[in-house]
């Protein structure tokens, strides 16, 4: 076995203080060419790619526990945004691991539905209030694309209206064709997706007027970095109902993070269909499409309409992932998970804003989003978004033992870890301040980051 892939520190190692710890990345740097030789992009998710991390400081990970991860060089980090926001309870969360392990010993995949599928369906719909029926799958792209197909079949229309201000809905052509990454997507498919702006009900009305009777569905997150303006979400719902348009809320991120019943529950606006994932499995691969029976049953066997091939996946009902999801829901029922996610985020945002103010960086660094799902913006001296300064900030935070493409909290964080994160932010922003004054090239040790949605490398 390759020692570079097995050199995790012992599981009993006590986590040291992570600030001011010298970091070496020799083993990670050595692994990079091998990853790229065999895996296009060097990762199976573009958001995990090398171009999203500071050069020569992109660790390859071997283990996680709680809010910490370890890399092949033996470095320990506090990891925010764990599992791209999916690991909401923490890595290797004991109750979830035990539930999955017990189920794996009973078998993971059968030729007929397992009772566990019904049990989770009942518990999920009761807990989230997301609708009358649910279909499980393995990832958010699949369930969101299934929602679009269902809306098209139900309405007999082809056009899809997506929110321009929300970055990702699916890997499938109907969405990717609307981004600069259009290679391989037929032009005819690209033309079937149109967009509107968040908090701008008039922009959606323009689409309704421009394409009368042609919009099958509206696809949007309930909320991202900006909260909904008063009346916006009810206005979208009313417009869709009036025009016979299926309203689809993407709750892949917001579900079980904003509120136990998702952002739709927090804001009191229920869509026709909604898609869930990430937090539902705490890192296990499970996603859900839920909604009104009138729509969902079109994918079933007990209706007189033309059949919809909705979701049919060999691994969509893997029993260990379903068991993990049941354990997640039980944890949410019995513990204040969402409240703690918000509390840690509020503490972190307050500290980061104080550090920004202390260094006079208010125009150049911004903390964005709801406390449970914080992101940040980096700007240059002219106030323009800067991938070079973002790379510098990540470089300095990684050097201090914090992986933070965003500051998305999880339940395993503690106040002490958040406070030490803030101390590291203060130090990193001091260097950011000097880079603004003296030039980022004096401090950035590699190339700038790159946006994912670009036509060429």
CATH of the domain at 310: 3.40.640.10
As a residue count, the chain comes to: 457
Asked whether residue 425 carries a pLDDT value surpassing 80, the answer given is yes
With respect to residue 307, please indicate whether it lies within any of the assigned structural domains. Answer: yes
Asked whether residue 5 carries a pLDDT value surpassing 50, the answer given is no
Measured CA to CA, the distance from residue 422 to residue 425 in angstroms comes to 5
Residue 114: alpha-carbon gap to chain centroid: 29
With respect to residue 456, please indicate whether it lies within any of the assigned structural domains. Answer: no
Q: Are residues 38 and 154 in the same domain?
A: no
Asked whether residue 19 carries a pLDDT value surpassing 70, the answer given is no
Q: Are residues 351 and 309 in the same domain?
A: no
Asked whether residue 51 carries a pLDDT value surpassing 60, the answer given is yes
Q: What is the mean pLDDT of the chain?
A: 94
Domain end marker among 300, 317, 334: 334
pTM of the prediction?
0.94
SS3 content of the chain, % helix, strand, coil (to 5): 40, 15, 45
In 285-444, alpha helices (H): 293-296, 319-334, 337-358, 387-399, 415-438
Write out pLDDT tens, residues 96-140. Answer: 999 999 999 999 999 999 999 999 999 999 999 999 999 999 999
Q: Are residues 343 and 204 in the same domain?
A: no
Q: Domain residues for 29? A: 3-79+336-442
With respect to residue 196, please indicate whether it lies within any of the assigned structural domains. Answer: yes
With respect to residue 185, please indicate whether it lies within any of the assigned structural domains. Answer: yes
Write out pLDDT tens, residues 334-357. Answer: 999 999 999 999 999 999 999 999
With respect to residue 303, please indicate whether it lies within any of the assigned structural domains. Answer: yes
With respect to residue 316, please indicate whether it lies within any of the assigned structural domains. Answer: yes
With respect to residue 134, please indicate whether it lies within any of the assigned structural domains. Answer: yes
Write out pLDDT tens, residues 156-189. Answer: 999 999 999 999 999 999 999 999 999 999 999 9
Q: Are residues 341 and 325 in the same domain?
A: no
Q: pLDDT category, 23, cuts 50, 70, 90?
A: confident
Q: Are residues 246 and 381 in the same domain?
A: no
With respect to residue 88, please indicate whether it lies within any of the assigned structural domains. Answer: no
Whether the Cβ atoms of residue 316 and residue 138 lie closer than 8 Å to each other:
yes
- From the list 268, 229, 230, the residue with the least C-alpha distance to 249 is 268
Which long-range contacts does 435-444 make (Cβ < 8 Å, 24+ apart)? 435/389, 435/392, 436/361, 436/364, 436/380, 436/381, 436/389, 440/380, 440/386, 440/388, 440/389, 440/392, 443/392, 444/388, 444/391, 444/392, 444/395
Domain end marker among 283, 316, 334: 334
Q: Are residues 64 and 108 in the same domain?
A: no
Write out pLDDT tens, residues 75-102. Answer: 999 999 999 999 999 999 999 999 999 9
User: How many independent structural domains does the chain possess?
Assistant: 2
* Residue scoring higher pLDDT (13 or 179): 179
Mean pLDDT along residues 316-330: 97
Asked whether residue 22 carries a pLDDT value surpassing 70, the answer given is no
Q: Are residues 69 and 104 in the same domain?
A: no
Q: Are residues 118 and 242 in the same domain?
A: yes
Q: Are residues 140 and 164 in the same domain?
A: yes
List beta partners, residue 64. Answer: 69
Whether the Cβ atoms of residue 61 and residue 71 lie closer than 8 Å to each other:
yes
Which segment of 37-51, 126-140, 262-276 scores lowest on mean pLDDT? 37-51
Q: Are residues 45 and 111 in the same domain?
A: no
Write out pLDDT tens, residues 230-253. Answer: 999 999 999 999 999 999 999 999
Asked whether residue 18 carries a pLDDT value surpassing 80, the answer given is no
pLDDT at 7: 39
pLDDT at 309: 93
Whether the Cβ atoms of residue 29 and residue 53 lie closer than 8 Å to each other:
no
Q: Are residues 207 and 276 in the same domain?
A: yes
Q: What's the N-to-C CA distance of the chain in angstroms?
A: 33
Q: How many CA atoms lie within 13 A of 423 on its CB side?
A: 12
Q: Are residues 242 and 390 in the same domain?
A: no
Q: pLDDT category, 4, cuts 50, 70, 90?
A: very low
CATH of the domain at 14: 3.90.1150.10
Domain end marker among 302, 319, 334: 334
């Amino acid at each position: 076995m390759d020692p570079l892939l097995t050199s995790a520190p012992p599981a009993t190692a006590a986590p040291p203080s992570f600030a001011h710890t010298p970091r070496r990345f020799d083993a990670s740097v050595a692994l990079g060419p091998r990853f790229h030789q065999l895996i296009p992009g060097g990762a199976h998710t573009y958001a995990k790619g090398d171009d999203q991390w500071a050069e020569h400081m992109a660790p390859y990970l071997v283990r996680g526990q709680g809010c910490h991860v370890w890399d092949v060089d033996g470095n320990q980090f506090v990891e925010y945004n764990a599992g791209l926001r999916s690991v909401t309870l923490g890595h290797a969360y004991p109750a979830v691991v035990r539930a999955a392990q017990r189920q794996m010993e009973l078998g993971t995949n059968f030729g007929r539905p397992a009772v566990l599928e019904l049990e989770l369906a009942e518990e999920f719909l009761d807990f989230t209030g997301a609708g009358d029926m649910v279909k499980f799958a393995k990832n958010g792209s699949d369930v969101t694309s299934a929602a679009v197909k269902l809306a098209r079949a139900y309405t007999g229309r082809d056009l899809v209206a997506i929110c321009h201000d929300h970055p990702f809905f699916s890997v499938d052509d109907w969405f990717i064709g609307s981004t600069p990454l259009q290679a391989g997507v037929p032009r005819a498919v690209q033309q079937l997706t149109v967009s509107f702006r968040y908090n701008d009900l008039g922009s959606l009305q323009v689409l309704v007027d421009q394409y009368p009777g042609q919009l099958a569905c509206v696809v949007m997150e309930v909320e991202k970095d900006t909260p909904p303006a008063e009346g916006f979400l009810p206005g979208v719902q009313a417009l869709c109902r009036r025009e016979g348009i299926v309203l689809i809320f993407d709750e892949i991120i917001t579900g079980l993070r904003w509120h136990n019943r998702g952002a739709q529950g927090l804001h009191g606006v229920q869509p026709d269909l909604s898609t869930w994932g990430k937090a539902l499995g705490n890192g296990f691969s499970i996603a859900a499409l839920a909604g009104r029976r009138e729509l969902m049953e079109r994918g079933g066997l007990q209706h007189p309409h033309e059949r919809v091939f909705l979701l049919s996946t060999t691994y969509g009902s893997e029993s260990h992932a379903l068991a993990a999801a049941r354990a997640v829901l039980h944890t949410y029922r019995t513990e204040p998970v969402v409240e703690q996610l918000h509390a840690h985020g509020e503490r972190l945002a307050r500290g980061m804003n104080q550090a920004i103010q202390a260094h006079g960086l208010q125009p150049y660094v911004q903390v964005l989003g709801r406390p449970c799902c914080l992101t940040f913006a980096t700007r240059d001296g002219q106030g323009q978004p800067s991938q070079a300064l973002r790379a510098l900030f990540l470089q300095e935070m990684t050097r201090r033992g914090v992986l933070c493409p965003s500051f998305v909290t999880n339940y395993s964080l503690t106040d002490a870890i958040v406070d030490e994160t803030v101390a590291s932010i203060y130090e990193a922003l001091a260097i950011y301040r000097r880079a603004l004054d003296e030039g980022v090239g004096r401090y950035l040790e590699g190339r700038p980051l790159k946006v994912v949605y670009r036509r060429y490398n």
